[in-house]
Structure 1
Amino acid sequence: MGAAALLVSAVLAAPASAAGGIGGDGLAGGGHAATRKAVEAAVTAGVPGATATARDTHGTWSTTAGVGDLRTGEPRSAADRYRVASITKTFVATVLLQLEAEHRLSLDDTVAKWLPGLVHGNGNDGSRVTVRQLLNHTSGIPDYLADTGFRRAYFTPDGFYAHRHDTVTAHDLVAIAMRHQPDFAPGTSWNYSNTNYVVAGLVIEKVTGHSYATEIEHRVIRPLRLTATSVPGTRTTLPRPSSRAYSKFANPSGPTYDVTELNPSIASSAGEMISDSADLDRFYGALLGGELLPPRQLKEMKTTVASRIAPNIRYGLGLMDTRLTCGVHVWGHTGGIHGSASEAATSENGRHSVAVNLNGDWTGDTGAVVRGEFC
């Protein structure tokens, strides 16, 4: 399944493709020619533009195709900043696992221990949900993105343009989810829920006394010198260099809308971050290479459960483990938000990574780019 096809129906959730996994150093794949072909194919399929960067022991390589601005025809750039959506989840999980390594919390702590009364009502009970279950989506907490009113407000053209500058708090998002009954009893099944990571961000704030954004900045962005990466909060614009972002609001044959400007608070700690492909390669390479977590915490992150994304994808703690069609595994995450489809993947040892972004949300296959790079 292609990345962009899922976006408007599951924005932020956006497991964008059936790509991914572990195994080997990942350096004996099909090479950059296949990667370039897959990037160009995304544009041929109808997405305005694509940008991808790969990194391995031989260095860094980038390719682009199509345009970043339909009005001016300006091409996409390898240095484009873009909204990475659910790739944010890996950053959030990394911070929580660092806090566990510092003995400041346990993955088996309940949500109610840190945030009493937040998850309650309609059968939801934070005293039965653990931090681990938030991170691997086994909590049963409903996804606020599934709420009909929320979707009407942000995922229809009229609603989006009326509300795209609104600020929504993390507590607002959780309250929307609490209008609904749990998807299942905690620990008994699996369902991707963005609410899990909104709650996880609030846990970070409670434990540290700082926002999740501040902790990501101090613990990940600055140490790794991720100069293109940011947690924008309520900033509605993208930093330069960047491309415009386009949506068809789930109507592939309909008009194309410029959705570049939006208040990312609707994604909160489930998906508000901005980055570029080179920074994502650096982040996932450092994470899998053991630079950000002690061995025990990295093992926890890589302990996976079966997911409903695809038969070849298992989910760890903010990290997807996917077996590619060629049998290679890579680790990473996907992300989709209005006008943006992204995917980042790396080999198990972190020495070979690729990250790709499409600036349209109705077609194109980011997974094909990953397969081109690793297979």
Structure 2
Amino acid sequence: MPPLRTLLAFALALTLLTLAPAAASTLWVPPADPLLASLVTRGGAPAAALLALDDGGARYAGAGKGIARADHFRAGSVTKTFVATVVLQLAAEHRLSLSDTVEDHLPGLVRGAGNDGRALTLRDLLAHTSGLHDFTSDTGGTVPVTPRQALRIALTHPPADLGRFSYSNTNYVLLGLIVEQVTGRSYAAEAERRLIAPLGLTDTSFPGSRTSLPSPHGRAYTADGTDVTVLDPRVAGAAGELVSTLADLDRFYGALLGGDLLSPRWLREMLDTRAAHGAYGMGLYPERLPCGLTVWGHNGRIAGSYVRVAATVDGRRVLAFRVNTDTIASPGLEPALLAAEFCPHTSWNGRAAREAPVPRHPFE
């Protein structure tokens, strides 16, 4: 029989568990999580973190040094989901139409090298089927530019085929200009008013030209180890300016896919991938996992940061993970991590993670 002291300790532990508040549903996963740790050991990141959210609460894990749950970080092209949501809300209000041309809102702006705004619709921009050249291919995503400067860079190149999916940050820079033309306010102000404030995303912001991150935050590094924590967000603008946290991104994607921001009709539009031949919806893209489940979300890459958010189509389960560098050296780790989270009965060991297919979406 166990000694009396052991029995008393066990009884006390049971009592404390009984008295714990119901809200304390967060399960803290040890940093030794093997797949997350692989982002450091094989992926080459100084540190990595994830936050998963479902009906049971939140689960956090971190690996490496210098990263914390509450950190602010640059979210890169996750910005596109916010901008697309604003555009679709404006369409729902009949303030614009997805069949409008760029010329309808910005007459004469898109001209040159075979590009013609009269032939491009807002749907083309949202789905990356406009053929517009990606301005960051020229700037490397490191040169701060105004939206019109970014557009001028893109328009020195001939377009790809209209109607063919070709991911381009220029599309969303143009959408930012169109939001401003339609509303009289910047895309950042509209996103704040329509999305950030209503959802209480108190740690999410559009920094404009502010080069510092809000506190708390860790450090950010390029693949060669250069510290780029201080960065001018105008390198990306409406295509990748956002600063956020894991918790805020989980909340946003859960609310979006849960129907809190768009009506069923417009959410169906957002998830319709036919224009991009299955590759992309509007600010979201699907990924089919080995267990047959399709998750929806976006990734973001900007100097010093890579983030991926994925959620079930009903928004009830969301995963956000990040590394504090802009490149994962072993790309197969990302689909392995998604499968481990959303396909609990799928076995993912070290070999599976190494052999997982490279994602089809090298988005930035």
TM over 0.5: yes
Counterpart contact for 2:129–2:276, Cα < 8 Å: no
Counterparts of 2:291 and 2:275, CA distance in 1: 20
Equivalent residue for 1:36?
Answer: 33
Equivalent residue for 2:55?
Answer: 57
Are 2:270 and 1:304 aligned? no
Q: How many pairs were matched up?
A: 312
TM alignment of 1:19-34, pairs within 5 A: none
Larger radius of gyration: 2
Equivalent residue for 2:146?
Answer: 169
Which residue, out of 233, 244, 247, partners 1:275? 244
Are 2:304 and 1:339 aligned? yes
Equivalent residue for 1:23?
Answer: none
TM alignment of 1:216-255, pairs within 5 A: 216-248=191-223, 255=224
Are 2:65 and 1:100 aligned? no
Counterpart contact for 1:356–1:369, Cα < 8 Å: no
Are 2:65 and 1:67 aligned? yes
Counterpart contact for 1:357–1:366, Cα < 8 Å: no
Question: C-alpha displacement at 1:138, in angstroms?
Answer: 0.5
- Residue by residue over 1:264-314, the C-alpha shift from the partner in whole angstroms, topping out at 9 and shown as x without a partner, is 111000000011111111000000000000111101001014769xxxx72
CA 1:285 to 1:34, structure 2 compared with 1: closer, same or farther past 3 Å? Answer: farther
Are 2:180 and 1:183 aligned? no
- Residue by residue over 1:244-272, the C-alpha shift from the partner in whole angstroms, topping out at 9 and shown as x without a partner, is 11113xxxxxx421011110111000000
TM alignment of 1:120-135, pairs within 5 A: 120-135=111-126
AA at the equivalent of 2:304: G
Equivalent residue for 1:321?
Answer: 286
AA at the equivalent of 2:40: V
AA at the equivalent of 1:146: S
Counterparts of 1:277 and 1:354, CA distance in 2: 9
* Structure 1 stretches of at least 4 aligned residues deviating more than 4 Å after TM superposition: 32-35
RMSD: 1.9
Which residue, out of 212, 228, 235, partners 1:266? 235
- What is the TM-score of this pair, normalised by structure 1? 0.80
Counterparts of 1:34 and 1:261, CA distance in 2: 27
Question: C-alpha displacement at 1:367, in angstroms?
Answer: 3.5
> What residue ranges of structure 2 are gaps of 5+ in the alignment?
1-28, 344-364
- Residue by residue over 1:187-208, the C-alpha shift from the partner in whole angstroms, topping out at 9 and shown as x without a partner, is 2x11000000000010100000
> What residue ranges of structure 1 are gaps of 5+ in the alignment?
1-31, 69-75, 156-162, 249-254
Which residue, out of 320, 329, 335, partners 1:367? 335
Counterparts of 1:345 and 1:357, CA distance in 2: 12
Which residue, out of 234, 258, 262, partners 1:293? 262
CA 1:132 to 1:307, structure 2 compared with 1: closer, same or farther past 3 Å? Answer: closer
Higher relative contact order (CA 8 A, sep 6+): 1
AA at the equivalent of 1:202: L
Counterparts of 2:151 and 2:222, CA distance in 1: 26
Equivalent residue for 1:198?
Answer: 173
Counterpart contact for 1:50–1:356, Cα < 8 Å: yes
Counterpart contact for 2:31–2:61, Cα < 8 Å: no
SS at match of 1:41: helix
Counterparts of 1:107 and 1:306, CA distance in 2: 12
- What is the TM-score of this pair, normalised by structure 2? 0.82
Question: C-alpha displacement at 1:34, in angstroms?
Answer: 12
SS at match of 2:33: helix
CA 1:333 to 1:34, structure 2 compared with 1: closer, same or farther past 3 Å? Answer: farther
- Residue by residue over 1:311-368, the C-alpha shift from the partner in whole angstroms, topping out at 9 and shown as x without a partner, is xx72100101110122211010011011111000110110000101100123254433
Counterparts of 1:314 and 1:38, CA distance in 2: 26
Q: What percentage of residue pairs aligned between the two structures are identical?
A: 50
